[in-house]
A and B are shown apart, each in its own frame.
Chain A
Amino acid sequence: MVIDLDKCVGCQACTTACKAENNVPHGSPDEQRLRRDIFWNKVIAVTTGKYPKVNTELISMPCMHCDQAPCVTVCPAKATYRREDGIVVQDFRRCIGCKYCIVACPYGARSFNSKEQEEKEYLRPDLPPDRSVWGQWPFPTRTHGVVEKCTFCFHRIDKAVKEGKKIGTEVVPACVEDCPSEARKFGDLDDTQSEVSTLLSSRGWIRLREELDTKPKVYYLLK
């Protein structure tokens, strides 16, 4: 995934689109105070400088899907693993809720679902309805007591592969599809002809916390 910080408007449509697509539970004032609210994609603000020479970078943070993912290394239950296509996923059935991965992740991309009373929470009338009716993914029912994170909307990707659609043009994750300034692009980094590869070769870019050698697959294009 490539996120263009020059085009990004800091609107947080990625966050709300993700919440709706993946039925990510919302938080509450208390949960926010305890830093327990769950986000698969969050926009963070990094402010430097003094008035009037101030600079704030608004950075949208999905899971970086690192090639050398610390979360995968530390998981004792092997609940988190890297798929062949490079997406790092979390198997809720394997997860034992030890939160090692949350500590290990240098990007804060992971959230622990500490919501109680799963049934009530997910079937509450104020939430968009339970997705079990979807039959397939994502997350027909979710258990509390496990760690959750961004999946690059792999339910979309897998479906697209099955249907022979082109990933990156016809099918993209929800946050990419719903980005109003079209700052986000998704595609195959190994394919030199893909839009993401072209973008990366045309401009200066960074990856977050490069020094840790996690080899993240989310690239940020600079202004």
Chain B
Amino acid sequence: MKKSGRSRSREKDQKKLTIDRRTFLRLSALTGAAVGASKILSPLDTPAAQPLPPKNPIVPEENWMVTSCLNCQARCAIRVRVVNGKAVKITGNPLSKVSDGKICPRGHIGLQVLYDPGRINTPLKRTNNEKGNGIDPQWVSITWDQALGEITNRLNKLREKGEPNKLLLFYGLNTISSQDMISRFAEAFGTPNLISGDGLDSETEKSGNWMADGHYAHTAYDLDHTNYVLAFGADMVESSKPLSRFLRKWGKIRREKPNRTKIVVINPRYSVTAAKADEWVPVRPGTEGALAMAVAHVIMSEGLFNKTFIKDWTVGFNSYKELALSQYSPKEVSKITGIQPETIQRIAREFAQTQPALALRGQESINWPEGSFTSYAIFCLNALVGSIDVPGGVLYQESVKYNEMPRLVEDEIAKKGKAKPILDFRGTDRFPAAKVVTNQIPESLLENVPYPIEIAIGFNSNFNMLSPGTDRWDKALKRLPYYVHISPFVSEMALYADLILPSTTFLEEWGYDHSPPGSGFAEVKIKQPAVVPRGSARSVMDIVFQTAKRLNGGVAESFANMGDHAEGFVRFRTETLVPWKEFLKKGVGAGKDYEYRKYHRIFQTPSKKFEFSSGNLKHLLAKTKKGKEEGLDYLPHYNEAKFLGDKGKYPFILLPYQPLMVIENGSQNYPWAQEIFLPMDGVGWETLVEINSETAKSLKLMDGQGVWVESPFQKIKAKVKFSEGVHPDVVALPSGQGHTSYGKWQQGIGVNPNEIIGVDYDTLSGQAAFFNTRVKVYKA
């Protein structure tokens, strides 16, 4: 019987007190003694598995710290159990009301984010001038002083030349406090080129809202009180925001209120959400807009809409009604969507007659070219049944009112720089309503339009992994004259850096945060270091403070008098909301309770009402496109989706989806997440190409064999999985795998669907289209 060294040494400690079974056997063999074995083997129902007394009884110093998570945008309040300076367990903070103190499974992965063996400990400088995927940058460690000196030297020179606009800033998932610092840095420095990852997320949701009610923001839903949910491509329990709130409220609406909420999921893919819902309606990809209009058709033709709300608080109803009645009969739409007319009618009636009801949309229905209008069409259904700012309806998120920062010191250089055009063409006639067009950047960089960039800094961004058309990013990053990357690990984007600065993870830093729209009421959460930072990592906020201090002119002045370091800044911004000591102890500060039916002040539209015909859009297009659009374009409507690739050559539509276990910080080197990556297939560590089993058989494929998935642009190889939960026209691929940069637990595992997705946009909001690429599948 093989024993480990430790258990043997433990046994020694034990000998004085008792004789265990093995020692007994050994002794009896030697001496032949026949002691009453039953006595020593002891009655088995007493807790024999009591823990052994520890070898060196150390008194553990245990501490529960309150802070907040940052493994996705939900930024949930958490408590961290810290024992002798090490974080050992993460759980929810019950004081947070956004998700009733619950966290999603990603929250627990925080421990592995913190203790990731691939983290970097010092600033790294590239010594190999050749850049590219697979080329060793030959990093050498340098000190923080050298690193910051090098950066600020270059930044100062750029400003001296009067070209601060030639600085490009990227940011991925950061705390709200870091985002505030980064934006201020851009403002003070004088560059308009601040690029977030939002253009890869779901800007179409925001622009759809903006057309209807004037809020260019994600939608908040009162999930506590709703009785019916119609989810158009919304993966409510996988990738909706804020996720933990959706997870908690799902339990609540199912069984914690008198009448159980019915949930219907419309999606070409049988997602976890669809599996958990009451009904799954497979729809032809990209036709959800038509379906929403058909639902509206049924509701209006049968007079099931909320007459008082429509009369008092909406405009444009008649033209919307006319359009829906004339063009979107269930029979017509059935041909487009592939859904039976009877099903459409039934869903529409249920939706209108079970009040309050909600129509949700998610990436899979709206991240399409012209997805803004699909988003608008689905959102209008809520208004049609009066689910606007009522219990169980759409909410209007209150924002957190942080303490104002001191006035920005804007020098002449900064003013001139900011007046220059922006690299992503937002707000121009190409992307009229856009706030950011993330995926436009590579083209701008490669073509030097509107001007060349000299320095770029990336804050926890990993866009060459997350954007469709990844190879363009690689080419563009390669050409950047000087790129500084700030993150805790060497991500795919960091591979192209000239300098990497190690930043802290969320368990080691100061910050403040709030969740994306969801709860209605405002809630601020603290981030405070639960453990000492590893290596010499510094927080993004401290890096910005220290960089700004070394810069000339208005930049340094703009960062004076607001705390001087991360902790001070957090205190400065939040002390007016929550007393500091209380904030440190409780971790959250909630605003006042949500107030419903604020119709007189929530609509930010020309008519100050909910608009079925968008006045906001009309005004905007009059400005940017000089009024060449006709009436139809201001109404929610459906246009046949434009696909990339020829239908004859590429018969299937690629559907990349985000599984829950995708950590959104740009890395996936977390084994707890990797081993349970695809719950519907019961496997992890993998990308599976999911194809309808009948389709797969017609292609003469075998379940589990390797296949190529080829688009007109690229091809990738992965294992095929026969599925009963995929529309016959669709090939579904999970995103999140296919990392090439670092880490035993992610490098070379799975493939990245973004490599084969073509580049396209929703032209209104600049949202990257993810779902309109055609592919073919064949044996590898």
A, B in one complex: yes
Identity of the chain A residue whose Cβ is nearest the Cβ of B725 in the assembled complex: A54
A173 to chain B, nearest CB (A): 12
Interface residues in B244-261 (C-beta closer than 8 Å to A): 244, 247-248, 250-252, 254-256, 260
A11 touches B104 (CB 8 A): yes
Known: A54-B725, A124-B117, A134-B60. A93 touches B7 (CB 8 A): yes
Interface residues of B in 663-697 (CB under 8 A from A): 671-673, 675-676, 679-686, 692-694
* B102-120 interface (Cβ within 8 A of A): 102-109, 111-112, 115-117
Bound together, the chains give a CA A15 to CA B107 distance in angstroms of 12
CB distance from A20 to the nearest CB of B (A): 5
CB of A103 closer than 8 Å to a CB of B: no
Is A26 a contact of B671 with CB atoms below 8 Å?
yes
- The answer to whether the Cβ of A188 comes within 8 Å of any Cβ in the partner chain is no
Q: In the bound complex, do residue B54 and residue A140 qualify as a contact, i.e. CB atoms below 8 Å apart?
A: yes
Neighbouring A residues of B256 by C-beta, 8 Å? 182
Question: Least Cβ distance of A6 to chain B in Å?
Answer: 5
A11: contacting residue among B58, B252, B660, CB under 8 A: B660
Residues of A within 8 A of B280 (CB): 52, 54
> Per DSSP, are chain B's interface residues mostly helix, strand or loop, or mixed?
loop
Q: Are B48 and A91 in contact (CB under 8 A)?
A: yes
A118 on interface, CB distance cutoff 8 Å? yes
- In the complex, chain A residues whose CB is within 8 Å of the CB of B276: 8-10, 58
By the criterion CB–CB under 8 Å, are A4 and B4 in contact?
Answer: no
Q: Which B residues lie within 8 Å of A43 (CB)? A: 676, 679
Can you name the residue of chain B whose Cβ is closest to the Cβ of A23?
B88
Q: How far is the CB of A203 from chain B (nearest CB, A)?
A: 9
Question: Looking across the interface, which residue of chain B has its beta carbon closest to that of A182?
Answer: B251
B54 in contact with A135 (CB, 8 Å): yes
Is A144 engaged at the interface, CB distance under 8 Å to the other chain? yes
Partner pick for B244 among A8, A50, A180, A183, CB 8 A cutoff? A180
A6 partner, pick from B54, B255, B661, beta carbons under 8 A: B255
Interface residue from B60, B115, B725 paired with A127 (Cβ < 8 Å): B115
B54 contacts across to A, CB distance below 8 A? 132, 135-136, 140
Contacting residues of chain A (73-105) with chain B, CB-CB under 8 angstroms: 78, 81-84, 89-94, 96
With beta carbons under 8 angstroms apart, the residue of B45, B105, B272 that contacts A13 is B105
Which of A27-35, A63-71, A205-213 lies at the binding interface?
A27-35
* Interface pair A32/B92, CB less than 8 Å apart: no
A93 cross-chain contacts in B, Cβ below 8 A: 7, 20, 49, 52
Instruction: Select from chain B the residue with minimum beta-carbon distance to A118.
Output: B4
* B21 in contact (CB, < 8 A): yes
Given that A81-B45, A83-B45 are contacting pairs, would A26 and B275 also be in contact in the complex, using a CB cutoff of 8 Å? no
Known: A20-B108, A81-B48, A140-B51. A12 touches B675 (CB 8 A): no
Q: Is B99 an interface residue (CB 8 A)?
A: yes
Contact A44 B251 (CB under 8 A): no
A58 to B237, CA, bound (A): 13
B44 at the interface (CB under 8 A from A): yes
Cβ-based interface call for A131 (8 A): yes
CA distance A200 to B92 in the complex (A): 27
Residue of A nearest to B62 (CB): A134
Q: Are B685 and A9 touching (Cβ within 8 A)?
A: no
Q: How far is the CB of B246 from chain A (nearest CB, A)?
A: 8
Question: How does the 8 Å CB contact mask read for B57-88 relative to A, with 1 for contact and 0 for none?
Answer: 11110000000000000000000000110111
**A12, A19, A28, A92, most chain B CB atoms within 10 A:** A12
Q: Are B86 and A133 in contact (CB under 8 A)?
A: yes
CA distance A21 to B111 in the complex (A): 11
A148 within 8 A of B: no
Docked Cα-Cα span, A16 to B90, in Å, equals 10
- Contact residues, A126-171 vs B (CB, 8 A): 126-129, 131-138, 140-141, 143-145, 158
B261 shortest CB reach to chain A, Å: 11
Q: A91-B49, A125-B117, A178-B91 are in contact. Are A9 and B247 (CB under 8 A)?
A: yes
Residues of chain B contacted by A141 (CB below 8 angstroms): 6-7
CB distance B251 to A51 under 8 Å?
no
B416 to chain A, nearest CB (A): 48
Instruction: Provide the bound-state CA to CA distance between A9 and B239, in Å.
Output: 12
Do A135 and B103 contact each other (CB < 8 Å), given the known contacts A9-B272, A56-B725, A178-B108?
no
Nearest B residue (CB) for A94: B21
In contact, B51 and A133 (Cβ under 8 angstroms): no
- Does A13 contact B49, Cβ atoms closer than 8 Å? no
Contact of B250 among A7, A32, A57, A83 (CB under 8 A): A7
Whether B6 contacts A32 by the Cβ 8 Å rule is no
Contact A181 B282 (CB under 8 A): no
Residue A49, interface by CB 8 Å: yes
A17 at the interface (CB under 8 A from B): yes
Q: Is the CB of B682 within 8 A of A51?
A: no
Closest to B22 in A: A93
With beta carbons under 8 angstroms apart, the residue of B45, B57, B86 that contacts A82 is: B45
Please pick, from B102, B115, B671, B683, the residue contacting A28 in the complex, using a CB distance under 8 A: B671
Cβ contact within 8 Å between A29 and B749: yes
User: Is residue B270 within 8 Å, beta carbon to beta carbon, of the partner chain?
Assistant: yes
Bound Cα distance A90, B44 (Å): 12
Binary contact readout A38-50 vs B (1 if CB under 8 angstroms, 0 otherwise): 0000111101011
Measured CA separation A61–B112 after assembly (Å):
24
Verify A10–B6 contact, CB threshold 8 A: no
Q: Which residues of A contact B91 (CB under 8 A)?
A: 17, 177-178
Contact A128 B247, beta carbon cutoff 8 Å: no
Which residue from chain B places its CB closest to the CB of A136 in the assembled complex?
B51
A132 neighbours in B (Cβ, 8 Å): 54-55
Is the CB–CB distance between B255 and A4 below 8 Å?
A: yes
Is A51 in contact with B724, judged by CB distance below 8 angstroms? yes
Contact (A144, B4) CB under 8 Å given A45-B681, A81-B44, A178-B92: yes
Q: A43-B676, A52-B280, A180-B251 are in contact. Are A11 and B237 (CB under 8 A)?
A: yes
- With A43-B679, A81-B45, A131-B88 known as contacts, the answer to whether A9 contacts B672 (CB < 8 A) is no
Q: How far is the CB of A152 from chain B (nearest CB, A)?
A: 13
- Contact check, A32 vs B685: say whether CB atoms are below 8 A apart: yes
Contact of B57 among A29, A125, A135, A138 (CB under 8 A): A135
Instruction: State the CA gap A56–B683 with chains docked (Å).
Output: 15
User: Inside 8 A of B84's CB, which chain A residues have their CB?
Assistant: 133
Interface centre among A4, A58, A119 (most CB of B within 10 A): A58
Given A133-B60, A135-B58, A178-B108, do A45 and B45 touch, yes or no (CB 8 Å)? no
Residue on B with the closest CB to A53? B724
Q: How far is the CB of B253 from chain A (nearest CB, A)?
A: 9
Given contacts A20-B108, A91-B48, contact A49 B58 (CB under 8 A): no
Besides A131-B88, A135-B54, A135-B60, 4 more A-B contacts (Cβ < 8 Å) are: A9-B276, A43-B679, A56-B270, A182-B256
Q: Please give the residue numbers on chain A whose beta carbons come within 8 Å of chain B beta carbons, in ascending order.
A: 4, 6-13, 15-17, 19-21, 26-29, 32, 37, 42-45, 47, 49-52, 54-58, 78, 81-84, 89-94, 96, 118-119, 124-129, 131-138, 140-141, 143-145, 158, 174, 177-183
Can you show 30 pairs from A to B with CB atoms below 8 A apart?
Answer: A4-B251, A6-B254, A6-B260, A9-B247, A9-B250, A11-B247, A11-B272, A11-B660, A12-B679, A13-B103, A16-B105, A19-B672, A45-B682, A47-B680, A49-B724, A50-B693, A54-B270, A82-B45, A90-B49, A119-B5, A127-B112, A127-B115, A128-B88, A128-B112, A143-B4, A177-B91, A178-B102, A181-B251, A181-B254, A182-B252
Pairs A-B, 6 closest by C-beta atoms: A181-B251, A26-B671, A180-B247, A126-B117, A16-B108, A180-B102
Residues in chain B within 8 A of chain A (CB atoms): 1-7, 20-21, 41, 44-45, 47-49, 51-52, 54-55, 57-60, 83-84, 86-92, 99, 102-109, 111-112, 115-117, 237, 244, 247-248, 250-252, 254-256, 260, 270, 272, 275-276, 280, 282, 660-661, 671-673, 675-676, 679-686, 692-694, 723-726, 728, 745, 749
